[in-house]
Each structure stands twice: as C-alpha cells, then as structure tokens.
C-alpha cells in the first residue's frame, strides 16, 4: 500500500476510534442531576377577583393559620396613597413571617411589606440596581428562612436573591434591602408570576408566558433546580424545566392570566391561581390544586 494511502487509512481509523470513544463516554455519562416531576391536578377553588387574584401562601405559624391571598382589594389604602398600587405573590417563612411584594408605577425602588408572627407590620425598601426591572411580582423564602428570592417581568435569565426582610438579622426597615446574589438560569423564562420552594434546592414557578416560544407551550408550570441552596454569598445556577401547561378552562374566550403559586409542605399540595378572561374573571377564575404524580 502506498505511503499516502496508509496515512489516509490511519487518519480514518483514528477518527473512528475518537467517535467510538466519545459515544462510550456519552453512554456512561450520568443522567441530568434533576428532572421535573409530574404534578397531577386534583381539584380547584374559585378565586375571588378582588382579594385572591394576585397570589397566595400557606402559613404554618401559628398553627391552623388560614391560607393568605393578595389582590387589588387587599392593598391598604395608606400604601396605595403612597403609590404602592400593585401587590404580587406573597410567601411566608416556616417560623411565621409573612411577606408581600409591592411595586409602584415609577421610581427607583420596590418594597416588601412584612408581618411578624406577633402581628406587627414593617416595610423594607430596595433601591434598584443597574439594569434591574421596577416590577416586583413575587417573593419566595428559602426553607432555612434566611434568604428570599424574587423575580422580574419580561424575558429573564436570572432570579434575584435578598436577605429575608424581618428574618435575616442583616436586614432593617431603616436600611436599604440589598441584592446579594442571583440565580443564573440555564434557560430563559418569561413573565414569571410566582415561585415557591418545594425543597432546599427546588422551586416551582408559574409563568404567564403568552407566546409559548420558550418551552413549546403557553402558561407553563416551571421547575427550577438550583445547583446549591442560596446562601447570599455567591450566585447559584438554576436548571429550568417546563412541567406542564396550567389549566386554561373558562366559559369565556380570551386570554387567561397565570398568577401566584404556593406549595404547602404540610399536605404536599401545590396551588396556582389562574384568572379567567373577560367577564368570567368574576365567575370562574380558579385556584388549581396539584399533587406529585
């Protein structure tokens, strides 16, 4: 065989060895660290359009506390008079601190209103950083209580991490609430209306995405698996998976709006508010219930 032919043969064989080796390595590689679980719809309750149309949370302390909701009708007149005219999806720490996120139509800040277990209210204001959106759609307290996640409207590749106001000793109503880290998402999300922790490194989120181009479906229920529990010292990454489309059922035709989300660990129930279109916002908006399948 001529030398040139032998050289070509060796080159082809080397390429085949490389391909086979890569295939073996690929087959031996572990599966992704996290995969979305199945959430099965188990029922629903009517969502009042004035007081239950923005968000909800379960409260564990004190015992037997009722679920809490937010809507335009739950905004105190004093807050609205100072421009805080939109409330988002609230959350509560496991030791009973209740937190509502607020925003204004303009300005350079957002606010978290906190009720301590004893009933006293306080306000924690965060001054926006460079490139940070004004809106304040939701709050999600980490299971250890020390850190709070929040998000921005539109198409985003991050979530925001704050020390939990009222819980973390580094916070004070008289000081600016600092942004201490971010969750860097591996997939863009759009119009997230609420998130809640289902474990130390897992979030379930409701997206009001009307386009469907990101995950192949509109109004998706999303799962975000964090690379580590947030600790306020460094960014973590978040792997995003679309679990399913939220229920879109109504007697009216038109655009639905996915709203807040809550995971009640006492019974393992996930609840998501979906507001109906048109006149049916008054009649058949629902809080849907899900359990792990």
Q: Is residue 8 assigned to a domain?
A: no
If one counts the domains in the chain, the total is 1
- Tell how strand 257-264 and strand 286-292 pair up: unpaired
Q: Is residue 29 assigned to a domain?
A: no
Q: Is residue 24 assigned to a domain?
A: no
Query: Confidence class of residue 4 from pLDDT cuts 50, 70 and 90?
Result: very low
Beta strands in the chain (DSSP E): 39-46, 55-57, 68-70, 86-87, 91-92, 98-103, 109-115, 121-127, 139-141, 147-150, 155-163, 181-190, 192-199, 202-207, 220-226, 236-245, 257-264, 269-275, 286-292
Q: Is residue 19 assigned to a domain?
A: no
Q: What is the pLDDT of residue 7?
A: 36
What are the pLDDT digits (tens) for 251-275? Answer: 999 999 999 999 999 999 999 999 9
Q: Is residue 25 assigned to a domain?
A: no
Q: What is the pLDDT of residue 36?
A: 67
Q: What is the CATH number of the domain that holds 179?
A: 2.120.10
Q: Is residue 6 assigned to a domain?
A: no
pTM: 0.88
Q: Is residue 15 assigned to a domain?
A: no
Q: Is residue 239 assigned to a domain?
A: yes
Higher pLDDT, 106 or 12: 106
Position 86 pLDDT exceeds 90: yes
What are the pLDDT digits (tens) for 27-59? Answer: 333 333 345 689 999 999 999 999 999 999 999
Q: What is the pLDDT of residue 293?
A: 82
What are the pLDDT digits (tens) for 171-194? Answer: 999 999 999 999 999 999 999 999
By residue range, what is the domain housing residue 197?
34-292
Query: Confidence class of residue 9 from pLDDT cuts 50, 70 and 90?
Result: very low
What are the pLDDT digits (tens) for 190-233? Answer: 999 999 999 999 999 999 999 999 999 999 999 999 999 999 99
């Amino acid at each position: 065989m001529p030398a040139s032919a032998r050289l070509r043969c060796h080159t082809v064989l080397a390429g085949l060895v490389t391909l086979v080796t890569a295939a073996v390595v690929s087959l031996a590689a572990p599966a992704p660290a996290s995969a979305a679980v199945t959430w099965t719809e188990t029922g629903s309750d009517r969502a009042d359009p004035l007081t239950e149309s923005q968000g909800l949370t379960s409260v564990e302390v004190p015992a037997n506390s009722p679920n809490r909701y937010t809507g335009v009708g739950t905004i105190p007149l004093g807050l609205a008079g100072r421009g805080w005219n939109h409330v988002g999806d609230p959350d509560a720490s496991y030791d009973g601190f209740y937190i509502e996120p607020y925003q204004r139509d303009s300005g350079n800040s957002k606010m978290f209103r906190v009720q301590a277990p004893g009933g006293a209210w306080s306000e924690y204001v965060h001054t926006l950083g460079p490139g940070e959106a004004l809106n304040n759609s939701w709050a999600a307290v980490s299971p250890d209580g020390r850190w709070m996640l929040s998000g921005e409207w539109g198409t985003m590749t991050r979530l925001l991490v704050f020390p939990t106001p009222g819980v973390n000793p580094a916070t004070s109503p008289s000081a600016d609430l600092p942004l201490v880290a971010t969750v860097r998402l591996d997939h863009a999300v759009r119009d997230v209306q609420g998130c809640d922790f289902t474990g130390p490194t897992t979030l379930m989120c409701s997206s009001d995405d009307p386009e469907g181009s990101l995950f192949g479906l509109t109004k998706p229920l999303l799962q975000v698996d964090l690379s580590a529990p947030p600790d306020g010292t460094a960014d973590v990454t978040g792997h995003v998976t679309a679990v399913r489309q939220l229920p879109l059922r109504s007697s009216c035709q038109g655009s639905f709006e996915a709203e807040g989300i809550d995971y009640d660990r006492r019974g393992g129930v996930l609840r998501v508010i979906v507001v109906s279109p048109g006149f049916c916002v008054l009649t058949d908006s629902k809080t849907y219930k899900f359990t792990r399948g």
